Amino acid sequence: MSQREDLLAGARKCLVEKGYQRTTARDIATASGSHLASIGYHFGSKDALMNLAALQAQDEWGDMIVASVRAAVGADPVQRLQIAFEELFASLPRHRELILASVQAYAQAEFAAEIRDALRDATRIARAELTAMLLGRDVGDIDVATADTIGTVVHSLIIGFAVQSLVAPDTLPSGDAAVAALRELVVEHTA
């Protein structure tokens, strides 16, 4: 790995172990085996490095979510959602560190416009992709209103389940139970 990659890996490690606010430039240098001055040379500042590390973790987590939904190809939308939830729930314990680092990106969005803007743009794309995958359509066929409804709800559920997996992993439902709960809320209680 290059020194730049080592610094990013060190920053990711610090995000998980210490959190964004408690990580110092010296912590990153130590975790990466790099010189303290190399942070400024490669990234300009510790905050720029931490922001990039958090955003990269968020991107990786987004790829994991997409992979979970893609596993459901060939099913109807409800089955796709159930399969996607099953895949997601099975992957959460294996990706705990990635989720922790991603949550750090959300927490920092309030304080860093570059993170907020990147998350906003990535979320917009993710909503359209999730909607397309769940409906079995091409992303180009998904209008903004559909992505902003179906995609927003599904994306919010995914984020919520991921956070829940960090604080109470034993309370996650199965994919079947999650879909059944949604059906009960929507179908049985609206009639």
Instruction: Identify the pLDDT of residue 118.
Output: 83
Band (pLDDT 50/70/90 cuts) for residue 73 is low
Distance separating alpha carbons of residues 25 and 103, to the nearest angstrom: 20
| pLDDT score of 10 more than 90 | yes
**Cβ–Cβ < 8 Å for 181, 173:** yes
How much is the average pLDDT of 134-155? 93
Query: What's the mean pLDDT in 56-60?
Result: 77
Q: Give the domains, in start order, of the chain with CATH numbers.
A: 54-188 (1.10.357)
pLDDT confidence bin for 37, thresholds 50/70/90: very high
Please write down the HEC assignment for all residues of 122-178. HHHHHHHHHHHHHHCCCHHHCCHHHHHHHHHHHHHHHHHHHHHHHHCHHHCCCHHHH
CB atoms within 10 A of CB 135: 16
Residue-wise pLDDT for 98-130, tens only, equals 788 788 788 888 888 888 888 898 889 889 988
DSSP state of 93: G
Q: What is the pLDDT of residues 169-187, one digit of tens each?
A: 999 999 999 999 999 988 8
Q: Please, are residues 27 and 14 in contact by the beta-carbon 8 Å criterion?
A: yes
